[in-house]
Amino acid sequence: MARVIQYQPYQISLPSEVYLDANFLIDVHLPTEKHLTACWFFHELKAKRVAVVTSPLAIDEALYKQWIIYYEIDHGPYSWKRDADKRVARDIFLSRRARYRDKLRNFCDSMEGLVSFIGYTVDALQIVKVATVNIQQYNLLPRDAFHLAILQAACISAIVTNDRHFDNPVIPSLDVYHY
Q: Estimate to the nearest angstrom the gap between the alpha carbon of 152 and the chain centroid.
A: 16
Question: Which backbone phi and psi does 16 adopt, to 5 degrees?
Answer: -80, -20
Tens of pLDDT, residue by residue over 46-71, are 899 998 888 888 988 988 888 788 77
Domain range for 161: 3-62+116-178
| CATH number of the domain residue 135 falls in | 3.40.50.1010
Tens of pLDDT, residue by residue over 84-137, are 655 555 665 566 666 677 777 777 777 776 667 665 456 788 899 999 999 999
Cα separation, 112 vs 123, whole angstroms: 25
pTM for this entry = 0.83
Within a domain: 122:
yes
Give the count of domains, the chain: 1
